A and B are shown apart, each in its own frame.
Chain A
Amino acid sequence: MSAKRLRTKTYLLLALMVLFGSLGNVLLSRGMKETGEILDFSPLALAAVFGKVFTNGSIWFGISSLLIFFVSYLLLLSWADFSYVQPASAVGYALVALLGYFMLGEFIPLTRWTGVVLICAGVALVGRTDPSPSGRVRRDSQRAGAREAQARQGEASRNGEGPRGAELETLTPASPEAAPYRACAPRPKGRG
């Protein structure tokens, strides 16, 4: 996958994370406010609260949003560095503040504006770095290792040792790191 496509994919998943994370929290908050303040903590009253909470549409939409958030987070972490994802997802704070200002007409004090600006600057800085340089370094070193092995192989076959094709098969050993990749690849039909 080209660096550009990887970056687009990373931004897309980040956007999903930020969107559904914020949406989920807002919906849960709305659902709980609709339920009303919990004053009576007797088992019977709590059971009634549970009934009310889990028949509330906002709560279910909120939980679904947070599930989408979590799955996006997991997917994103499957390739992007944690030191990229964590600061980059902080853009949600700034977004919520801006939405509050432009859509709800909320008053935002100067300290909060400063915070928004700092977060945006920080996210811009982090967002421009390579999402997964650590992974790329690892892959490159593996590739370099394979090239080295190939070079050795070429030498060996020139020296008339062994059939070349057969040994090429073993050039990409199933490293423990590579194994789970296969588990995610489409499985041939008719098995398991």
Chain B
Amino acid sequence: MRRVLLIATNYLHEQRWAVISLALYAPAMAAMMRGISHEPDQETLAFFLQQQGSFAVIFGMLFAGAAIYNDRRSRRILSIISKAVRRREYIAGLLVGVWCSMAVFIASVAASYTLAGGRDAGRELSAILIPSALGMLAVAATALFFSTFLHPMFATVSAGIFLGMPALFSRVDVHLGRAISPVYYVLLHITTTKSAPAPYQLLIWCVIHTVIFWAAASWMFAQRDIAVTVD
């Protein structure tokens, strides 16, 4: 566990400027809303929350899709894998790191929403940001899995297509759809609800999806040659 946390902290440190930018972006948007209208209406604020909750999921996919590639390109991955680090610990470290990065953003969104004057903040925040945080974890695990064997751009696109599959089969059974891609239903929930909590089954599916894709990514990554010889 210590190695996972070390790799996660390291990832967070490496992405600090991107994370800081995202953390500042949410309050900047909130400040702009207050600047335009001294007391922004609740509809606008709810839309802000829904929008940022969806962004967290999408940013999570983008961050995770590039995580392994960045370490490989800089060859820093060799200095980590040459230590007593298992491939699954490395993947778990990146996953936790991506989640922490997005958790900072989600916390910033929550603070911005509250400061901007969102009413009934606790209920609305939990209705949107909890599924957002779990959906982001699931999408990050999926993008990490694809990035073990694909270029980050293709990995991100593949993860997006995979997670959007229920949309392609609109008549799919909702329970089956949740099992295949809970993230699709998380996004659907985030963008349509205002204060209703997400079904707990959906949140559990997000966790299961994360574990399955983390295990698959670890297995796939363990089969791969990490370094291309330089000589």
Q: Do A and B come from one complex?
A: no
Residues of A at the B interface (CB closer than 8 Å) are: none
Residues of B at the A interface (CB closer than 8 Å) are: none
